């Protein structure tokens, strides 16, 4: 069978899992594809009132209804399966559909309702196509991994945890082959579109998750982040996305690229529409599941979530730029909004966070070297396994046979450099007076949206260094692009040729009206490796932003 | 200058730092070298009553005397400098002598006695020749690193912590070149002998520390452990030696081989004669110094030390062998002594700890592969830097130019294997019923002493796997070799050719009477990565052993 035939077989296998009555007729399909910024509104009109109430709710609210027996698990699961099926037909965000298994699981949960409902009882959780689920593939966007359903024993520990806590698994979501890209495309599944604006990329590598959750086909899903892969799709869909510190959420038996590459480890974490949902989920996975009992790479460290919470007087570092790439007006505006809120809060303090430009360059250089350390050997072996051709967005990762891979000594030297750079960043933090020591840093993340295929016309600098530093980072939606306020950039002020490229791309975007209203997000990081404080401050900031808007 | 000339210059530089009045005359020197098992007794006769009281004390007792002003810092420092100078002339355990700086520091501490004495006020701490101290070399046993005194800015974080807490630095101690050996020899400093029995090796790589502390030239010193280097010299000198889990004691700016090799990381920790001293020291370094503020590789995790402590009902796993190498009669006897004590204690429980032999083999194989991953490139470059010849004990580490170094992909694969093996070991632990889940494991460590040069005639299997697993491990002296009880081994029962070799070596030792009374130690490990519980249980076990002897 040719690779093209294998692809069409996989695609029809996927499509065959959508119930007939949920398949869209061509003219409806075309209509939904043309109305590029109104998908949610249009999907609402295709779903029942109850379904819309459910998919527009939160995990915590649905749990209340489940506890009060005002909803059944089946009603909830059915609503999300329907919504996921519909939005997938437009934005192409799914790789595996497990509706029948989900219906069955939901019916069983309803039939055998326990006296005490487990914390995720009846809650649908979507999974990036790296998590192993019994009976379905984990392709990571590689055709060579298709048609190799995972066994029970291969199930990811996180998947086992989710089942134990009563969650229902129903879909797996698209990724770029290898996950080493921020656009979401593969030969096997094609291109995924942004769920809020089909003219744009969903970002990646957890692009399918971002699109699905933005379209309300899921409340919370699991992504992974080795270079922004949770935060970028969150940013492009106005979602909350947490890149935890290493070892918070178990990676055991989750497939990945570059496994065993401990420098800049990939971490797994949640994307969600609601931040309380995200924090609730994290507290369950950490405190209830205690993943460190089975995963030796997990740390036995508590994750607090208290819905009625008091806040300390935060010292907040505001990061207006790395000295290499100038954040666009939308980010500056978002940063000033947040800074104004902090400054207006008695007891809180805003300080300027401005590590040396050279250190930013060094951290970026380390990330770049780590990503091409094997010159693309692993990625090519995956493509060669099926004969599928290398995709364009990965061509920078594959240096060809004439380029030697790193020796182990070169690799250890890179690790030493990373330790030195992290230490230097730490020294910058330690130089502040005690009263000015920041609890969190608020900074830019994606800078500009991009159209499918334009991945390389923007920058990853503001996401990558956080992976090298292993800081927890939460993507927080702050505002949306407003072409009256977010004007053209003056390229004569560019700091570098890379800066010019990003400015040019921004200026082209701003000249076209379809970027109006696109989400503008910032990331909240903690130099103290404290996931709790990042999320806690995020909740406070989100509530203040809601008040001020 | 030839490398031999450089060597003699370094050695005379070292000798010149010993005050004339502390230099031993030839016949005394010869007498002390001939009386191979009585060094401490003989050194006592060369020191004053007060000096012997001081060097025979503990950190905690000396602190009481300092608090009561019954001793001065100078008296303490002078006593240890004298003792160190004397024992060094016999066992050759020092690489740097900083007596003048130490006297100066002690005088200043006495002159400016603070109202509240810092926790290590006036306490001498010896340092393995990896720690950077301003004004002196860090050679790691390499001639090419000699005559390059470190600057203030290069000082190891741990050295800065020690100074801040009032400790006095006075000596640095010998290591085998590269520290990747368990005998202690280098071209620059020659061979170090065991402090309790000069017919034997001190072990390594913290061999100088072991010998110095055993000869009461130090109460507590810092070693490092990447494959037993803290525990082995502790075992061979009847000392307590803690290999902490990674990130407990700061490694920042401590020189090392294979820096950036995160698989099986080297860890830094204390060797001491008194376990309360060791625990006190750890609690100061962790709780008071908070090393994670400056060292991004350190974990913000408390280390408890309570001198009046209550003990939980421990479940203790007794590990009688890995299925590859048979522990000698001395170890079996030591294990049975400990097991009997546990079984005789109401509420405590002894279980058999017996992971699969294949898993032990896999863990050992991973450690071996990691050690030769670069085929010796780094080690040879260090020898070539000065033109000194490669030393015999390292020949196994240097595979020659025809052997290629690991590629980064092979290295990542080895990391994956290590994660899988650690997970399998964890699964073995998780299979026990809750009431049988072990808090600690008690097992063999060095199996047999060895004579200088015989390093490869014994085994490292019982130490190496603990480094792969990243468990905390405490060496605890349990008994001494008793040739009436510890008889010949039946080589016909050997499990492997390697086992035969170790048995043969044991049998040869037992046939010679100079092994009588050599320390027999066991290691206490925790599968829960809990350094506290390892030390706490160690204290309890040591007190029970003291009672029963």
**Which tens digits make up the pLDDT trace of A247-288?**
999 999 999 999 999 899 999 999 999 999 999 999 999 999
- Residue-averaged pLDDT of chain A: 97
Residues of chain A with C-beta less than 8 angstroms from the C-beta of B406:
407-408
Residues of chain A with C-beta less than 8 angstroms from the C-beta of B299:
299
- B261 and B366 share a domain? no
- B470 and B521 share a domain? yes
Q: Does residue B523 sit within a domain?
A: yes
Average pLDDT for A306-326: 92
**CATH code: domain of residue A364:** 3.90.1300.10
Say if the Cβ atoms of B374 and A405 lie within 8 Å: no
pLDDT higher than 80, residue B549: no
pLDDT higher than 90, residue A126: yes
Work out the pLDDT band at A241, boundaries 50, 70, 90: very high
What angle separates helix A275-283 from helix A531-548, to the nearest 10 degrees? Answer: 160
- A154 and A250 share a domain? yes
A420 in reach of chain B (CB within 8 A): no
Beta carbons within 10 angstroms of residue B436's beta carbon: 12
The question of whether B549 is a catalytic residue gets the answer no
- A514 and A442 share a domain? yes
Distance (Å, whole) CA B320 – CA B327: 7
- The answer to whether B192 and B91 are in contact (CB under 8 A) is yes
By CA distance, what is B296's nearest residue in A? A423
Catalytic, out of B10, B57, B126, B128: B128
**Which among B258, B296, B378 has CB closest to A422?**
B296
First to last CA, chain A: 56
pLDDT higher than 80, residue B307: no
- B224 and B328 share a domain? no
What angle separates helix B73-91 from helix B26-34, to the nearest 10 degrees? Answer: 80
- Residue-averaged pLDDT of chain B: 97
H or E element at residue B475: strand B473-480
- B335 and B261 share a domain? no
**Which tens digits make up the pLDDT trace of A51-69?**
999 999 999 999 999 999 9
What angle separates helix A408-430 from helix A461-469, to the nearest 10 degrees? Answer: 100
pLDDT computed for residue A548 by the predictor: 87
Work out the pLDDT band at A185, boundaries 50, 70, 90: very high
pLDDT higher than 80, residue A127: yes
Asked whether residue A205 is marked as a ligand-binding residue, the answer is yes
Q: Does residue A232 sit within a domain?
A: yes
Asked whether residue B260 is marked as a ligand-binding residue, the answer is no
- B77 and B109 share a domain? yes
pLDDT computed for residue A528 by the predictor: 87
When divided into structural domains, chain B yields a total of 2
pLDDT higher than 80, residue A446: yes
- The answer to whether B191 and B177 are in contact (CB under 8 A) is no
By CA distance, what is B372's nearest residue in A? A408
From A261, A293, A325, give the residue that closes a domain: A293
Q: Does residue A363 sit within a domain?
A: yes
Q: Does residue A301 sit within a domain?
A: no
**Which tens digits make up the pLDDT trace of B23-63?**
999 999 999 999 999 999 999 999 999 999 999 999 999 99
Q: Cβ-count burial of A465 within 10 angstroms (0-12 exposed, 13-18 middle, 19+ buried)?
A: buried
Tokens standing for residue A377: 């050997």
**Which tens digits make up the pLDDT trace of B123-173?**
999 999 999 999 999 999 999 999 999 999 999 999 999 999 999 999 999
Work out the pLDDT band at B310, boundaries 50, 70, 90: confident
Work out the pLDDT band at A175, boundaries 50, 70, 90: very high
The question of whether B128 is a catalytic residue gets the answer yes
- A256 and A334 share a domain? no
**Which tens digits make up the pLDDT trace of B403-428?**
899 999 999 999 999 999 999 999 99
Beta carbons within 10 angstroms of residue B402's beta carbon: 6
- Find the domain containing A437 and state its range: 314-547
- B66 and B148 share a domain? yes
pLDDT computed for residue B308 by the predictor: 72
pLDDT higher than 80, residue A154: yes
From B235, B259, B293, give the residue that closes a domain: B293
How much is the pTM? Answer: 0.96
> How far from A149 is each of A372, B128, B267, CA to CA, in Å?
30, 53, 42
Say if the Cβ atoms of A407 and B410 lie within 8 Å: no
pLDDT computed for residue B309 by the predictor: 77
**Which tens digits make up the pLDDT trace of A486-523?**
999 999 999 999 999 999 999 999 999 999 999 999 99
Beta bridge partners of B519: B480
Q: Rg of chain B over CA atoms, in angstroms?
A: 22
pLDDT computed for residue A149 by the predictor: 98
Q: How many contacts, defined by CB atoms under 8 Å, are there between A and B? A: 91
Q: Does residue B307 sit within a domain?
A: no
Distance (Å, whole) CA A393 – CA A397: 9
Q: Does residue A126 sit within a domain?
A: yes
Question: Phi then psi for B358, rounded to 5 degrees?
Answer: -60, -35
Say if the Cβ atoms of B409 and A296 lie within 8 Å: no
Asked whether residue B1 is marked as a ligand-binding residue, the answer is no
Distance (Å, whole) CA B267 – CA B523: 16
H or E element at residue A479: strand A473-480
Upstream peptide bond of A482 is cis (omega within 30 degrees of 0) = no
Residues of chain B with C-beta less than 8 angstroms from the C-beta of A470:
296
pLDDT computed for residue A370 by the predictor: 96
Distance (Å, whole) CA A389 – CA A187: 8
- B215 secondary structure, DSSP code: T
- The answer to whether B250 and B161 are in contact (CB under 8 A) is yes
pLDDT higher than 90, residue B270: yes
- The answer to whether A283 and A334 are in contact (CB under 8 A) is no
Q: Does residue B303 sit within a domain?
A: no
> How far from A298 is each of B196, B303, B377, CA to CA, in Å?
42, 19, 33
Q: Cβ-count burial of B309 within 10 angstroms (0-12 exposed, 13-18 middle, 19+ buried)?
A: exposed
**Which tens digits make up the pLDDT trace of B505-545?**
999 999 999 999 999 999 999 998 899 999 999 999 999 99
**Which tens digits make up the pLDDT trace of A376-414?**
999 999 999 999 999 999 998 899 888 899 999 999 999
Token pair 């520091």: residue: B105
pLDDT computed for residue A308 by the predictor: 72
**Which tens digits make up the pLDDT trace of A418-432?**
999 999 999 999 999
Say if the Cβ atoms of B408 and A252 lie within 8 Å: no
pLDDT computed for residue A243 by the predictor: 98
pLDDT computed for residue B80 by the predictor: 98
Say if the Cβ atoms of B260 and A414 lie within 8 Å: yes
ipTM: 0.96
Q: Does residue B43 sit within a domain?
A: yes
Beta carbons within 10 angstroms of residue A451's beta carbon: 19
pLDDT computed for residue A400 by the predictor: 82
Residues of chain B with C-beta less than 8 angstroms from the C-beta of A426:
294, 296
Q: Cβ-count burial of B502 within 10 angstroms (0-12 exposed, 13-18 middle, 19+ buried)?
A: buried
Say if the Cβ atoms of B296 and A426 lie within 8 Å: yes
Average pLDDT for B325-333: 98
- B360 and B232 share a domain? no
Of the candidates A177, A180, A238, the one whose C-alpha atom is nearest the C-alpha of residue A449 is A238
B246 in reach of chain A (CB within 8 A): no
3-state secondary structure of A254: strand
Residues of chain A with C-beta less than 8 angstroms from the C-beta of B419:
260, 296-297
- A476 and A346 share a domain? yes
- A270 and A330 share a domain? no
By CA distance, what is A529's nearest residue in B? B296
Helices of type H across B179-284:
207-214, 231-237, 275-283
Distance (Å, whole) CA B518 – CA B70: 36
pLDDT higher than 90, residue B276: yes
Asked whether residue B205 is marked as a ligand-binding residue, the answer is yes
Helices vs strands, H then E, count in chain A: 18, 13
């Amino acid at each position: 069978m040719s690779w093209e035939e294998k692809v069409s077989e996989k695609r029809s296998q996927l499509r065959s899992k959508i119930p007939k009555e949920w398949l869209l007729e061509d003219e409806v399909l075309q209509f939904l594809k043309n109305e590029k910024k109104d998908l949610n509104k249009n999907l609402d009109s295709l779903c029942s009132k109850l379904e819309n109430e459910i998919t527009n709710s939160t995990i915590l609210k649905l749990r209340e209804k489940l506890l009060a027996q005002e909803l059944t698990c089946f009603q909830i699961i059915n609503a999300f399966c329907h919504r996921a099926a519909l939005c997938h037909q437009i934005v192409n965000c799914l790789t595996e559909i497990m509706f029948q298994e989900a219906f069955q699981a939901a019916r069983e949960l309803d039939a055998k309702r326990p006296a005490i409902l487990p914390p995720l009882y009846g809650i649908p959780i979507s999974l990036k196509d790296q998590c192993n689920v019994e009976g379905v593939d984990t392709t990571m966007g590689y055709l060579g991994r298709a048609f190799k359903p995972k066994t029970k024993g291969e199930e990811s520990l996180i998947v086992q945890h989710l089942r134990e806590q009563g969650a229902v698994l129903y879909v797996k979501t698209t990724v770029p082959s290898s996950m080493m890209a921020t656009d979401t495309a593969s030969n096997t599944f094609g291109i995924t579109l942004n769920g809020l604006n089909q003219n744009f990329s969903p970002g990646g590598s957890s692009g399918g998750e971002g699109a699905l959750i933005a379209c309300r086909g899921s409340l919370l899903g699991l992504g992974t982040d080795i270079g922004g892969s949770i935060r970028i799709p969150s940013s492009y869909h106005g979602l909350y996305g947490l890149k935890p510190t290493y070892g918070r959420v178990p990676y055991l038996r989750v497939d990945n690229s570059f496994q065993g590459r401990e420098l800049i480890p990939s971490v797994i974490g949640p994307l969600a529409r609601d931040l309380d949902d995200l924090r609730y989920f994290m507290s369950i996975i950490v405190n209830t599941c205690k993943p460190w009992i089975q995963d030796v790479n997990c740390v036995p460290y508590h994750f607090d979530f208290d819905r009625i919470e008091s806040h300390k007087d935060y010292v907040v570092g505001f990061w207006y730029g790395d000295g290499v790439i100038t954040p666009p007006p939308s980010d500056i505006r978002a940063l000033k909004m947040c800074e104004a809120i902090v400054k207006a809060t008695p007891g809180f303090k805003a300080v300027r966070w401005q590590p040396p430009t050279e250190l930013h360059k060094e951290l970026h250089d380390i990330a770049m070297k780590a990503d091409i350390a094997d010159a693309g050997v692993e990625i090519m072996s995956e493509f060669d396994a099926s004969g599928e051709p290398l995709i364009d967005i990965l061509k920078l990762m594959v240096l060809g046979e004439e380029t030697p891979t790193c020796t182990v000594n070169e690799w250890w030297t890179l690790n030493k450099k990373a330790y030195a750079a992290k230490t230097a960043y730490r020294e910058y933090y330690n130089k502040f007076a005690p009263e000015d020591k920041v609890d969190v840093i608020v900074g830019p993340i994606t800078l500009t949206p991009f159209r499918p295929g334009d991945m390389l016309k923007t920058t990853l600098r503001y996401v990558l260094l956080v992976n090298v530093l292993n800081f927890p980072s939460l993507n927080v939606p702050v505002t949306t692009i407003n072409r009256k306020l977010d004007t053209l950039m003056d390229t004569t002020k560019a700091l570098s040729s890379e800066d010019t490229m990003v400015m040019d791309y921004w200026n082209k975007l701003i000249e076209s009206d379809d970027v109006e209203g696109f989400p503008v997000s910032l990331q909240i990081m903690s130099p103290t490796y404290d996931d709790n404080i990042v999320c806690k401050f995020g909740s406070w900031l989100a509530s203040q932003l809601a008040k001020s808007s």
